[in-house]
């Protein structure tokens, strides 16, 4: 045993807890461990998350079920046990945000039995998902969080009219007639 390992006998635990990367350990989609960066990202105290379904950090049950099915199917067909996507997640205060997630199963024969997840909040401009441009995606995120066109324009330092044009394109692409319908198509409720 080295001097260093005698000084820090549980170096692996310390590295996990203090890692700057938000990490979560799940078993059958129940949160069994997480690090400090994960707690900070989602705004929960540790005791509020442990032994809870990951549904708690999703904005809707529909997202929870759809992403669960997609990732489970991918992992069953994957040779490397790795899954990655971009998705909406929800902070404790109700704020919805874009996140990149990476998951790795430690039990390939039953992928959700034991998994390690890493999350990264995507606040910057990034590649669009599906048919949405990066700007449409950025505006969609603000609409979902309840911002009005003038507030979005001010926040993004663009004109109110530009926001309206992007909002109209979003509504056309997602076949929504109202803002409420648009939000429900961005984040399905059921």
Question: What's the gap between Cα 87 and its chain centre?
Answer: 5
Q: How many domains does the structure of the chain reveal? A: 2
Q: Is the pLDDT of residue 182 over 90?
A: no
Percent of the chain residues past pLDDT 90, beyond the cut: 49
| Tens-place pLDDT, residues 74-106 | 999 888 899 998 888 999 999 888 899 999 999
pTM of the entire predicted model? 0.70
**Does residue 127 lie within any of the structural domains?**
no
Within this chain, do residues 112 and 22 fall inside the same structural domain, yes or no?
yes
Closest CA to 101 of 86, 82, 80: 86
Q: Tell me, yes or no, whether 38 and 107 share the same domain.
A: yes
In a domain, 128, yes or no: no
Among 5-9, 109-113, 174-178, which range has the highest average pLDDT? 109-113
Same domain, residue pair 173 and 109:
no
CA-closest candidate to residue 42, choices 93, 88, 80, 83: 93
3 state DSSP class of 104: strand
162 and 80, same domain (yes or no):
no
- Which is nearest to 187 in space by CA: 65, 62, 44? 62
């Amino acid at each position: 045993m080295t001097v260093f390992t005698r000084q820090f006998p549980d170096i692996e635990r310390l590295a996990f807890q203090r890692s700057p990367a938000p990490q979560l350990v799940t078993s059958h989609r129940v949160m069994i461990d997480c690090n400090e960066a994960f707690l900070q990202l989602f705004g929960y105290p540790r005791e509020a998350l442990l032994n809870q379904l990951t549904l708690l950090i999703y904005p809707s049950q529909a997202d929870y079920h759809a992403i669960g099915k997609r990732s489970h199917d991918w992992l069953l067909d994957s040779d490397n046990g790795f899954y990655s996507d971009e998705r909406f997640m929800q902070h404790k205060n109700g704020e919805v945000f874009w996140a990149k997630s990476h998951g790795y199963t430690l039990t390939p024969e039953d992928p959700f039995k034991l998994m390690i997840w890493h999350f990264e909040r995507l606040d910057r401009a990034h590649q669009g998902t599906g048919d949405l441009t990066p700007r449409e995606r950025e505006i969609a995120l603000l609409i979902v969080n309840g911002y009005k066109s003038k507030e979005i324009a001010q926040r993004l330092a663009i004109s109110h009219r530009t926001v309206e044009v992007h909002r109209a394109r979003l509504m056309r692409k997602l076949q929504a007639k109202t803002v409420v319908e648009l939000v429900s198509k961005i984040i399905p409720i059921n």
